[in-house]
Amino acid sequence: MFSTRKSLIAALALSFTVLASSSLALAQDKTPTPEERAYKFRTSLFQTFGFKFGRLIAAKAQDDAAMFTKQASDLQFLTTMIEEGFEIENSLPEGTEAKPNIWEDFDEFKAKSDTLRTAVAGLTEEGAMASFDPRDFGSKNCGGCHREFRINKE
Ligand code: HEC
């Protein structure tokens, strides 16, 4: 009885192993590589930046200070994640607009992220909406990094 159970368990364990490895082989065709996942993450993050930036501009147009502060705080939280999308050195899968110099001068890349973080933190302060100029803000704090570290495909 005991040995039958034991061999049953062994047989079950074996079939699970076979199943697991065959489904892994199947999944490997579709599963994105770590580089592709990082690329997806950071482009989604940047698209969310774009969306939130649009909401910030809309809040100012509607003179809605509470909404402005809410959008600025969301953006502030999102900007803590920039470097996470670039942790894998030279993660440059097909389609990326990231330049290789990001990893050659990561300190500078980090400095550009800090510039944006500081500027966005400023937007969460009371009364910041009044002096917010979208063009100026975007050119300095988003464009400042793009000009150096993003391929301009236009
Ligand atoms: C520290 C550098 C840096 C800062 C700051 C930055 N970006 Fe980017 N951004 C990049 C890089 C690098 C890419 C290209 C990523 C890729 O394709 O792998 C990018 C790509 C994008 C994209 C394209 C995403 C896609 O779908 O391919 C948008 C939109 C974008 N950024 C918006 C913004 C906005 C809005 C801001 C400011 C609020 C901003 N970015 C600030 C570095 C930065």
Any domain includes 65: yes
Any domain includes 25: yes
pLDDT in tens, the chain (154 residues): 555 666 666 665 655 555 555 555 555 668 999 999 999 999 999 999 999 999 999 999 999 999 999 999 999 999 999 999 999 999 999 999 999 999 999 999 999 999 999 999 999 999 999 999 999 999 999 999 999 999 987 6
Q: In this structure, are residues 89 and 142 in contact, taking their beta carbons and an 8 Å threshold?
A: no
Going from the C-alpha of 112 to that of each of 83, 107, 118, the distances in angstroms are 11, 9, 10
pLDDT number for residue 30? 80
Q: Are residues 51 and 65 in the same domain?
A: yes
Any domain includes 154: no
How many separate domains does the chain show? 2
Q: Are residues 41 and 97 in the same domain?
A: yes
Q: How far is the CA of 24 from the centre of ligand 1 (A)?
A: 33
Please name the residues in contact with 63: beta carbons below 8 A apart, sequence gap of 6 or more.
129
Q: Are residues 38 and 1 in the same domain?
A: no
Q: How far is the CA of 13 from the centre of ligand 1 (A)?
A: 47
pLDDT number for residue 153? 74
pLDDT number for residue 154? 63
- Residues 12 and 4: their CA atoms lie apart, in Å, by 12
pTM: 0.84
Q: In this structure, are residues 42 and 111 in contact, taking their beta carbons and an 8 Å threshold?
A: no
Domain of 101 in residue numbering reads as 33-149
Token pair belonging to 52 = 């939130």
pLDDT number for residue 28? 60
Any domain includes 99: yes
Q: How far is the CA of 127 from the centre of ligand 1 (A)?
A: 27
- Atom nearest to 149 CA in ligand 1: 12
